[in-house]
A and B are shown apart, each in its own frame.
Chain A
């Protein structure tokens, strides 16, 4: 079932297999408030990535010994559905998923005012329904939106984007194929107003110069995604507000 390695990831005109230029991000479709039970939720489609995030809380914490006396505990679970990848993935959490849950939590924490809700839990669940490279970045994007949708006070939204190296050229926002067959992959999460890098990982081999360029590229990608995230959130709440005013007017008319 394994897919063949393509001959080239980037052609002589610097065009990638999916038609993007080197520093293009993939088009994304994001929705906020997609689950009725969760206090906040968001969904993203990015390439073949399909990722859903839901937030519960602040709520009572169980088990109780996990409570923090001076702030809320942000708990994060990144999980991949068994059908999300080519070969079925066992639903039990893998070491990779455990690690991503940890770095994802640490990427989001600097943005959340957990000190407003001592002794409570904010539970964040990220489910990867289909994976196509960069799922931890896309996961952070929807997770941050879900936290905002839950009305949890935040410094700002966290964005995330990977930069990498394929066929000797630096590329932005890697697909699964580019990650697997390329030379390096470096996911980075960023808070645009604070110039704060909150997640940074890399595997592959890069020189000092390539590394600095990749950090710059990833930050530019994050800034673009940050704009999109803000638009999505604004649109949703503008629509909600309009719907509310319409309802109010209808009610007034009926009363009259």
Chain B
């Protein structure tokens, strides 16, 4: 009794400071600085005719110049066109995959799902390099093979084209991302709805296209719009395949503006601003559309039956088709990328002693490589580590119900999700150039890590938020009532319980930091260059074999991480 009485009396004299309020304010300030301010600089910068860091001169000249150049408008149009063109085949394929995995008795569904996860994490840059090595009109292996045929007289494939870009995109992460999103949706659909259609006399395929897909159409559409927006953020494939053919999207155009001498910040920001406005309109329409689509509420998961569609003999055909798709679109390119890294001159099998270790030796002996490796590991560790600590706390503030500015904080957390990497990089570059932050961050590994951390904020915060919600408040409150301070509770109760979430998201962010190109591409210097950008430099300067070596190394690192993740018991398929 005495203990309580005295502590209580102490508290009377003390002015109350609420830690959660301080945390909330710090987070809002942090996000305003690293997300809000870059966006503001981006939008404001387009009206600023002076270089960043110089006294501002306002005017419309940037916009005038950007839009008097038809190339700018074309780039914007091309972004939408490319993202749209690859959406349709990708959605059809993803729906088929998800349906086969989740709703049919296809054998090995879980293994296929796991491979989809693996494929999702394979970085797109090495895959694009691999397709170049297979499809290049001069030395591409598939072209050479095709030319052997008697009736083929010119190279049939050309990756440096609109359809080349679309093709490569159907093998990279985007398609697997859709499978990963759609599979749980298909899994939760009540089988009774399909069974009713069967009883009414419909065939399996009729049920799929007439019942299952229409029922899930709002979800599929949601995934499609999300994919479209993500597609607009694409940079690597467009840079490697589009630039040689003169096909520019807005992101490669911005890259071009900043990389030219002298850099045209004004035009770049003007183009970025137009894109943001267009994206804003798109998102608003999407939100309006989703709001009206609450009609199909059958996907509740309540009392659903998990009976699966019987495919009969077709189930082996289905399995073979899925396996073949993964093999052709993912494994085949990687195998030939590996082969290419060991060839003296890629595609020239007829020269004497075509195979060599020279590229590997050259790359691995080069001190530039070790500096880049060190930078990459440092950047990825900072990004993953600091991100986990920071966003686990931000998510805590958001779920605590005590945040006064929750909507603001939430908006800031989500902003980087729609902001393409190149624009985020541009905004942050501007932030570094225009503020004293440049002394610590400009051109350094810390600067790159900060940008990557910002781009991780939506997914990381969301993952922790889901984690907290799943834990419920009781476990934490029990610790508080038992006498533990918040810090003690966080260390001893919350963090250990969320270790699997923290592990999974940390690994993902680590991998993302290793492979990211578009976010750091405007922020690095020779001293802070990470592996992925060294790979980019080799690839755009014609040293494809060296690029292949680095691409393979990065892919290998990602695969090792995936296996570590699996060993740690992280959930990589929807089924428990």
| A pairs with B | no
Question: Could you tell me which B residues sit within 8 Å of A by CB distance?
Answer: none
